Structure formats: structure tokens, C-alpha cells
Chains A and B, each alone.
Chain A
Amino acid sequence: MSKKIIRIVFFIILNFQLSILNSHAEVWKDGEFLLWNYGKKTFSTTDFCFALRYENERIGTPNCYEAGDLERDSVVSLYAKWLNANLDSRLKVEDLRPRNPHVLEKMRSLKDKNLLFSTVKGDKVWFLLFDETAAPKEITFFSVNLDSSQIARKIASSWFGSTPQTRLSDSERAAKQKEPDKYYAEQPMHDFWFGTGAGRTKKTFNSKKFNSKIKNYRDVKDSTSAWNFITDSSPFFNVYIGGSMYDFIGFELEFRKSNHRAKIDESDTIYRELDHWKFNRYEFLLSLIFMTAYIPHPQIELKPHVSVSIVHSFFTENIALKDGILEGSESYRERFDFESYYRGIALTLGLRTAFFKNYAIDLRTGFANRGTSMINQERIGRSTSDIFIAAGLEYHIRWK
């Protein structure tokens, strides 16, 4: 039962989409319009072109002609006669499509021009809009008492009010025909990428406990977080390499480097000997990524992703005494030391915008925590947390 309901819902959605896709003719900038008054002449090319420009100022310079070629074609005229005999408000556009192959060929040769067909039947004047597809795109009727300019304005506003598209050249049209369809393009792909970027890492929250300063090269109030020793906000640079399957699951290996000054207490006279004291933080992140792909435009793909990473992190020290001081104080020699490495975990949210198939910009943000595996009150940096935000440029190699 529930399966049946799901199928019905899908059917409705699909039909709804199809009806949206089929419902309107494309509006072209600087478009060309062929007008055919079958039988009595009800409206003029000048009125229609004026109305198009009046109702839609973005439409450019439309050209309106009489459809002389079609009017003189005896087979197309038969179709016009048939239309006149069959127009009925109970019918839909698909009931009114031409059947003769010659007429279909004529319709196809319209390319990006529009044919506006009008005919009087009883007290109504009917209007049908054709483009290169076989069935009429639009159908409407007015009272015969309306004059040409009123009708032209009504048609221009209801059928040609939307944003116009730039017309394509013949070669561009041919290229578009060869473009893989939407459903083919949406097939999941495999992907391999490498990228480089920059970002900023920052302590997770503004706690007073990180306001500590290092006294005597090693004394801090609390040594749980590395942020008690080094500056807690710094830019970082990263390079990474990764791969994914079916636009769904993947792995990435990332390397990050950031630079942090030691938070020394400037008032402590012992630091007079010190020229500079910095730490480089190096991190390796191995991430499991989950992603999904959206294609809003054939050349653009949006890929939100989430990942969970194992972090391996270590510091290198960069310290120097002032020129002329050959040997540092005892405290200098006994200064604090980070563990040889820290391990932790990171959670990342990101959005990758891929364009022209191979290139992408990736924005990501996340949270990371690293610490030591042993619970030992003496260890420095037992739990260091930060948030980060980064942007990267990537090159992708994709295949199906």
C-alpha cells in the first residue's frame, strides 16, 4: 500500500515537473516573430513588436514579420485550415499538434524564431504560439471586439514577460544538442583531487583561562591547553589530496602548517635575553568524507560534504637569543617542551563548488581537538581545541 502511494507521489511530481518544463516557450533577447493571420487579419506586426518592447524592457529589439513563406505553403495551409476547424476550449495544446511530416519539418526550421498564429472562429480570435517543437506551446483566445494593440499587449505580457535569453548561433545550437541530458549529467562520478588553501584557526571559546602568560619560560596557571602557551589565533596554510566514489564517500589526506608565538609575560625580566620564541604547528588529517552533488547548471556542481578526521599534530620550536648573548639562563635551558606529538579528531563541514568539470573552490569549517593518549596531569596540551575556517583551490580529475 505504502509503495503504491510512493509511486503515485513520484508520478505526480514527475508530471508536475514535466508540465513546468513544457509550459512556456523560451523568451529570446532580440527575438524574431512570424505572425500569421489565417483568414481575417486581426492584429499587426507593428503593434506586436511595440507591445513586446513596452511590456518587457529587457527584450531588446524584437523583429516581427508576416509569415509569408508558411502562408503560401499549401500543406501548411491545410494544417491552418484544420486548426481553424478544430479550435475548442476543451482541447489542450497536445491535441492540436500537426501530423504531416512536411508541416513538422517547417516547424523545426523555425529554430529559435516564434510563430504566432491567429485565426477568427465565431466571436473569438484564437492565438497559438509555435516554436521548433511540434506541438503548439501556448494557446489563448480573445473577443473579436478587442483591437490589435490591446491583444498584442495581453499576449506580450502573459507569454513574453520573463527574462529573455541570449540567442545562440547555429554552431552553439548544434553544441547544445550534443550536450548530455540532465539525467546523464547527474550520474554519480568518481573523483580524484588535489588542492591548496589558506584559513584561520582560533581557540574555541573566549575563556579567561587562556589569558595566562608564561613566566620564567614554563610557569602557567593551567597547562591543559596548548593555548596557554602560544597565541590562540593564527592563519594556516594547507595542501591536500583526496578521492571519492559515486559522489558519496571518499578519503582525504591534508597537511596544515600554522605559526604561533609563545605567550611570554613581557614584564618578566628574564626574557630580556630572548630575541624571539615561536612554534610551528604541523598537522596531518586523514578524513573520511561523505558528500552529495547538486547540478544547478551544466557547468557548475555544488557538493556539500561532511567529514571526520584523525589528526596527528606536532610542534617545532623556533627560538633565539639576542645577538651577543651566548648562553641563556638556566630557566631558558629548562623551558617548557610540548609532547613529541598529539593525536585527536576533527569534524568538518564544507561546500565544494566545482566549475568547468576540473576546477573547484572549497570552503570548509570545523572543530578539532587533540591531546595526549595518557591521562597525566603533568603533560602539556592534554586537550587543545580550536575551530577553523579555510578556503581552497582544487583541481579535480573525474570519471564515471
Chain B
Amino acid sequence: MNEAYSQLPAFGCSPASKKRMGVSTLNFIFVLFLASCSPNFSNSHRLYSGVPAKSESVGYVEIGSAFMLTRADWFAEKLDIQYDSIYSKLEVITDSVIFGEIQKKWEASIVSREAREKFSRETLKMDKTIFIKTRLPEQGVEVSIDSSNTPNYLFIIHEYTIGGDLDAENFYDYTKANVEMSQKRKFKDLSIIATWTLWDNKKQIPLRSGISTVQFPIKDGILTMDIFVKITKQAVAECLKKL
């Protein structure tokens, strides 16, 4: 909290007004402060000239092996889904929600998860100590949906991690790779960390890549499918915002 108070002048609050502010306002400012400091790394190609227009064709690559649940048992219990099928069910829901969001933005089509498995595994440097694992198509090969449809762009999610109180730095900053995290029974937030790339399918270059994080507060340990869909939408919005 001390850090939050020290940031107050930056938000334009005078010491006199601080007294009048309620605890909830301060909490809100604190959350804003944390949000502004959370690692949200993104990286552009030299030739990237901004978000593709709404009329552009964008292929969404099905999430497939990128989908990861860190606490499958917890999700199975809360969402009342059998443990055996929690992965496949949530993966299908996630895919459809993300595709729905992308459809609102561009002329979207779906690239199958089988096509994704042919992409090469590589490492992409985001920052001095931040690296992400990527799945990117070959140089010189355009990815087609079918014989008549070859989208101009692809939206590829490399890794999509859902869990409780996750910190992206622990996943992608190699200096923090050895941080041990205890398995907590209760979470404060439901977290989604996504690493993604907007791929130029015509020239086969990664136009823009990023790491996006959303944290959604879990009240009284309640998680419903509605909340799950809502936070998935938030995660997509967070990715698209950074394009």
C-alpha cells in the first residue's frame, strides 16, 4: 500500500483530498497502479504498420496444444465437469469464445489444430530477459484454410495458461524461472496468460507478438461458466488491444 500512496500525486490527488477518499477508492487506485506495472510485453516487426483493417481476412489458429490449465481439479470441481473431460470441454469453449471475438474485428476463418502441429517450434525474444516459445508457420509457405481461402493474416496463440494468481514473469522471464510457487487452496484472482503473434500470411513474418495477462477477482470461491466466458473475452480483448 505504501507504494500506492507514493504514487498518488501522479494521479493528481492532493494530500487534503486523500483524507476524503474512501478505502474502496484507494483500492481502486492501487489496482490501477498494479495494472500499469504488470508485465505486458509486446514486440513489433520493422514493417508492422498497425492493426489490419476490418475488411482484412484473418485466420484464427485453433488453440490445440497451447491450452493449459494449471489447476484442472479445481476447475472440474467449480464448473461441475468431470475431471476426464475438463481439458477438452474448456478448450472447445475457449476456442469458440476467442473465434467469436476475432470475428467481430475481422473477416475471420478457422485454421485447424492439425495445421498448427506442422508449425515449427521456436523461441522469440521479447525483452532482455523475456522469451516466449512460439509455433510459427514455415518461411515461404502460405497457410490455407481450403483451396479457395488463404487469409492475409493469422492470429496464433502460442501458449494459453489458465490458473489462479499466476504471474507472467514467472513463466517468461528466465531470471525468474526458478521461483517456486506454493499450490494455494484458494485464489484471489483467476488468471489467464496468453502469448500470441499476428502473422503476415502473405510474407510469412511475425508482425506483432505479445504477452497479455488478465486477472479476474474470484469472490467467495465462486466460478461459473459465465464467469469463465467473461474472463476469456477479457483475455482476447487484452491481446487485441495490444496489436
Q: How large is the interface on B (under 10, 10 to 19, 20 to 34, 35 or more residues)?
A: 10 to 19
Chain B 14-28 interface residues, beta-carbon cutoff 8 Å to A: none
Scan A70-96; emit 1 where CB is below 8 A from any B CB, else 0.
000000011111100110101110010
- Count of A-B residue pairs with CB < 8 Å: 39
The one of B47, B138, B141 that contacts A88, using a Cβ cutoff of 8 Å: B47
Shortest distance from the beta carbon of A169 to any chain B beta carbon, whole Å: 34
Is the Cβ of B47 less than 8 Å from the Cβ of A98?
no
Is the Cβ of B140 less than 8 Å from the Cβ of A79?
yes
Chain A 37-87 interface residues, beta-carbon cutoff 8 Å to B: 77-82, 85-86
Is the Cβ of A91 less than 8 Å from the Cβ of B203?
no
Q: How far is the CA of A64 from the CA of B45 in the complex (A)?
A: 36
Would you list 16 pairs from A and B whose C-beta atoms are within 8 A, ordered by A residue?
A: A78-B140, A78-B141, A79-B140, A80-B140, A82-B203, A85-B202, A85-B204, A86-B204, A86-B205, A88-B47, A90-B46, A90-B47, A91-B46, A95-B46, A99-B136, A100-B120
**Chain B interface (Cβ within 8 Å of chain A)?**
45-47, 120, 122, 136, 138-141, 202-205
> With contacts A91-B46, A99-B136 known, is A85 near B141, CB below 8 A?
no
**Chain A interface (Cβ within 8 Å of chain B)?**
77-82, 85-86, 88, 90-92, 95, 98-101, 103
Q: Chain B at the A interface: mostly helix, strand, loop or mixed?
A: loop
Q: How far is the CA of A100 from the CA of B120 in the complex (A)?
A: 8
CB neighbours (8 Å) of B138 from chain A are 78, 99-100
Shortest distance from the beta carbon of B1 to any chain A beta carbon, whole Å: 30
CB neighbours (8 Å) of B120 from chain A are 99-101
Q: How far is the CA of A95 from the CA of B204 in the complex (A)?
A: 12
Is the Cβ of A82 less than 8 Å from the Cβ of B139?
yes
Is the Cβ of A99 less than 8 Å from the Cβ of B122?
yes
CB neighbours (8 Å) of A95 from chain B are 45-46
> With contacts A85-B202, A86-B203 known, is A91 near B139, CB below 8 A?
no
Is the Cβ of A78 less than 8 Å from the Cβ of B47?
no
Shortest distance from the beta carbon of B207 to any chain A beta carbon, whole Å: 12
CB neighbours (8 Å) of B140 from chain A are 77-82, 85
The one of B47, B122, B136, B204 that contacts A91, using a Cβ cutoff of 8 Å: B47
Q: How far is the CA of A77 from the CA of B141 in the complex (A)?
A: 11
Task: Across the interface, name the chain B residue whose C-beta is closest to A97.
Answer: B139
CB neighbours (8 Å) of B47 from chain A are 88, 90-91
Is the Cβ of B204 less than 8 Å from the Cβ of A82?
yes
Q: A78-B140, A91-B47, A98-B139 are in contact. List 17 more A-B contacts (CB 8 A).
A: A80-B140, A81-B140, A82-B139, A82-B204, A85-B140, A85-B203, A85-B204, A86-B204, A88-B47, A90-B47, A91-B46, A95-B46, A99-B122, A99-B136, A99-B138, A99-B139, A101-B120
Q: How far is the CA of A103 from the CA of B138 in the complex (A)?
A: 11
